[in-house]
Amino acid sequence: MTALSIWRWVVRRLLLAFLVVCGMTILTFVLIHAAPGDPIYVLAGDGGTPSYYADMRAKYGLDRSVADQFVRYANAVGRADFGYSFMYQAPVTRVLGQHAPASLLLGVTALLIATVGGVGIGILTASRPHGVLDRVVRNVNVVAFSAPVFWTGQILIIVVAVQLRLLPAGGITSARDDLTGIAFVVDVARHLVLPAITLAMPFMAVVSGVSRAAVVDALSEPYILAASARGVPRRVLIWKHAAAIAAVPIVALVGEHAASVVAGGALTEALFGWPGLGYLVLHASLHRDYPLVTASFIVISSSVVLANAVTDLLCARLDPRIMLA
């Protein structure tokens, strides 16, 4: 592929990304404003007089029409000003900045667990299709994929945290202590295990299924059969040759889901009291914190679009047959 065509592809993707993010922003803005419920009551408390609520609405600009509010919001966003969170009484960018690291940590860990675990299990099961391990894994996968995260998470909490007392039930660090240095890192890691496994489980099931299918497919390619006929050990065939071909669908799958795993952990975060973006979006939506909800969705949709673009590039690199278009 020529340098020129790469640039054309990049420009086209950027343009597309911009349109998608704009569309998401408008959609979020309209939907959250259309949801019944007035943020002023959450913001200002109950038992007030009509004049009090009118004053407060004016103070937050909520007395303007939705169209007017949108134009003002779009203008502000154009100047990289994402507004002011009602709930936190702080700039939205600051609030997002406070919650993003926890989400990244949880999401990336879950993604790693799901990818490494899923690919490993996929290859193992592919090496003996329809064997005992394969059948057990397939059944477990059905459960892991279909079980809702709040169920999986609660089972883990009850068994691992409450009964066995191996790991903490929730939060990101121990509330009782003020740890620093290596003790702090260990503490965070201990808190990370259960939510990361909970978030990783359904995706790990998908990854292992896809990996298994891809490896099984690859193993039936003529050149692998030829290599096998020449006496190349099966172990080498699977781990070296087949795994390389199988990498494309796996990378495509992981890339496609990466951003949504990182950003989509709302239920897991809420269950474990994990202070990330997912929890923030949930909380902000319930409180009708318009600026915070809209900005969160801008961040989430941007990262999905970005992750997809990176995935396409990676796939094109891994398999020269794939054309960027």
Partner 1 sequence: MPIIEVWATIRPVRAFNSAILATALIVIAACRQNREIAQPVTLVVSLTGDPGPLNPAVTTSGNTHPVTDQIFNGLVGLDESLQPVPELAESWRIEDSGRVYRFVLRKDVSWHDGRAFTSADVKFTFEEALLKYHSRTRAALTDLVSAIETPGPHEVVFRLKRPYGPLLQRLDVVEASIIPKHAFVGEDLLSGAPTRRPIGTGPFKFVSYAPADRVVLEKNASYFRRGLPGVDRLVFRIMPNAATSVAALEQGEIDYVGSVAGPDLERLRHTQGIAVVAGSGGSGGSICQDVLIPNLSRPPLGDVRVRRAIMAALDRPFVVDRVYFGQGRPATGPISHLLAWAYTPDVRQYPHDTAVAERWLDEAGLRRARGGERFAVTFTHANTQQRFAQAVREQLKGVGVTVNLQTLDFNAAVDRVFVKKDFDLGMASYCNGADPDIGVRRVYVSSNIGPLPFSNGAGYHNDRVDRLFDEAAELVDRESRRARYAQIQRILADEVPYFWIIDSEGLRAHRTAFEGFRLWTGALAETVHVTGQSR
Binding residues for partner 1, rule: CB under 8 A, are 35-38, 41-42, 44-50, 52-53, 56, 87-90, 95, 98-99, 102, 154, 157-158, 161-162, 165, 168-178, 270-276, 279-280, 282-283, 286-288
Least Cβ distance, residue 273 to partner 1 (angstroms): 4
Contacts of 243 (CB under 8 A, 6+ apart): 123, 215, 218
Could you tell me if 296 and 277 are in contact, meaning their C-beta atoms sit under 8 angstroms apart? yes
Instruction: Tell me how far apart the alpha carbons of residues 30 and 22 are, in angstroms, rounded to a whole number.
Output: 12
Question: Nearest CA to 82 among 93, 90, 71?
Answer: 93
Least Cβ distance, residue 162 to partner 1 (angstroms): 5
Could you tell me if 122 and 212 are in contact, meaning their C-beta atoms sit under 8 angstroms apart? yes
Contacts of 267 (CB under 8 A, 6+ apart): 148, 149, 150, 153, 278, 282
Amino acid at 216: V
Least Cβ distance, residue 80 to partner 1 (angstroms): 20
**Which one, 99 or 257, has the nearer CB to partner 1?**
99
**Which one, 107 or 118, has the nearer CB to partner 1?**
107
Could you tell me if 278 and 268 are in contact, meaning their C-beta atoms sit under 8 angstroms apart? yes
Could you tell me if 198 and 160 are in contact, meaning their C-beta atoms sit under 8 angstroms apart? no
Least Cβ distance, residue 38 to partner 1 (angstroms): 6
Least Cβ distance, residue 110 to partner 1 (angstroms): 18
